[in-house]
């Protein structure tokens, strides 16, 4: 019977682990996966919930964009573009951050919230 108890304990541990795993999978908020692409080509795929704070520099025809990840959020920190629309967009939310002159796009891989943003 000792073995049976052991079995139950082992199973209970697996059982709880499985529940925790299920809960994590189900409740993991969508919209944490971000892609950075340039002219249609994906340069980076990042999971914001796992990224540590850092900056990424992307070049396009000699011009630079500096993307910053901080506290699980992402935005355009600096850009060599004339309009700075990408910087002014702020932190990534529903609408993609687009740097038109440098053909750079930062967006969530799995859309969250609204289907689109009128802007």
Partner 1 sequence: MGRFFVSQAVLLCLAALLTSCGQSEDNQTVDTVSEEENSTSMFAMNTYVTVTAYGNDTEAALSSAEEKIRSLESLWSVTDENSEIYAVNHSGGNPVEVSDETAQLLDFSLQMNERTNGAFDISLYPVLTAWGFTTEEYRVPDDDEITQLLERTGVEKISLDGQTVHVPDDMQIDLGAIGKGYAGDLVAEDLKQNGVKSALIDLGGNIQTVGTKPGGESWSIGIRNPFGEGNFGVLEIGECAVVTSGGYERYFVEDGNTYWHILDPETGKPAQSGIISVLVIGAEGRLCDALSTSLFVMGLDRAANLWRNSDDFEMIIVTSDGGIYITEGIEDDFTLSKNFSQPEVSVIRR
Q: Binding segment for partner 1 among 44-52, 53-61, 64-72, 110-118 (CB under 8 A)?
A: 110-118
Q: Which tokens hold the place of 113? A: 């919230």
- Give CA separation, 36 vs 3, 46, 72, 77, in Å: 54, 8, 15, 14
Task: Answer for the pair 22, 15: CB distance below 8 angstroms, yes or no.
Answer: no
Interface map 6-35 toward partner 1 (x if CB under 8 A): -xx--x--xx--xx-xx--xx---------
Q: How far is the CB of 11 from partner 1 (least distance, A)?
A: 4
Task: Answer for the pair 44, 35: CB distance below 8 angstroms, yes or no.
Answer: yes
Site for partner 1 in 33-92 (CB under 8 A): 39-40, 82-83, 85, 88-91
Closer to partner 1 by CB, 47 or 100: give it.
Answer: 100
């Amino acid at each position: 019977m000792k073995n049976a108890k052991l079995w139950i304990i082992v199973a209970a541990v697996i059982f709880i682990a499985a529940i925790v795993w299920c809960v994590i999978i189900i409740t993991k908020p969508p919209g944490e996966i971000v892609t950075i692409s340039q002219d249609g080509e994906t340069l980076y795929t990042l999971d914001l919930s796992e990224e540590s704070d850092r900056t990424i520099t992307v070049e396009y025809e000699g011009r630079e964009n500096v993307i910053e990840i901080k506290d699980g959020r992402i935005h355009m920190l600096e850009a060599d573009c004339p309009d700075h629309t990408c910087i002014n967009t702020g932190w990534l939310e529903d609408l993609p951050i687009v740097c038109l002159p440098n053909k750079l796009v930062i967006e969530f891989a799995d859309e969250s919230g609204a289907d689109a943003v009128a802007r």
